[in-house]
Amino acid sequence: MVETRINQATGLTTIILKPNNSSSWQFNMQVLASLSIIILLLAGYFAFQGLWLVFPFAFLVIASVYICLYLRVSANFKTEVITFDDSTVVVERGNDYAENTWKYHRLWTKIFVKTPLIRGHPKQIFIRSHGKELELGSFLNKRDKEILIKDLKSVVYA
């Protein structure tokens, strides 16, 4: 998701980048609950047949699915905020707060797009200043990267 905010009075432009969230935490927990019920019913059947050792493995499967869902959903809360003002460009990354911050002098900053070597892969957007590069929106899909490129062109060439 690309959200661009332009303050006409101050000239401050903020671009907020977030990955697309295909499902909510509640939906993921509903899926986990339904899988858990099925797994526990199967484990109960095998335990009733005398194979009681199935239960620890059933709980292990449920716990591993929960951990995988948790890691995937927490990765979907990544956010990048790119702020342009008259003299600086600030890029902030993090989940709940700005964990990493990069500041660039606007006159010495170049934004460029690399086309992929493999057909069908999304383009890569970089910001470069004084020999250091930083990729912007690495988690965005192809359509969102095109929107980001259009918004960056309108900010830089305005």
Query: Given pLDDT bands bounded at 50, 70 and 90, which one contains residue 158?
Result: low
Over residues 5-27, mean pLDDT: 89
Burial of 34: CB neighbours in 10 Å, binned 0-12, 13-18, 19+ = exposed
Rounded to the nearest 5°, which phi and psi values hold at 117?
-75, -30
Alpha helices in the chain (DSSP H): 25-48, 54-75, 142-156
Burial 91-101 (b: 16+ CB within 10 A, else e): bbbeeeeeeee
pLDDT tens by residue, 122-153: 899 999 998 889 999 999 999 999 999 999 99
Domain ranges of the chain: 2-21+79-156, 25-75
> Structure tokens of 157?
């060439």
Rounded to whole angstroms, the Cα distance separating 154 from 126 reads: 16
pLDDT tens by residue, 64-76: 999 999 998 888 8
Can you give the length of the chain in residues?
Answer: 158
Residue 32 has pLDDT above 90, yes or no: yes
Over residues 5-11, mean pLDDT: 87
Rounded to whole angstroms, the Cα distance separating 31 from 72 reads: 14
pTM of the model: 0.79
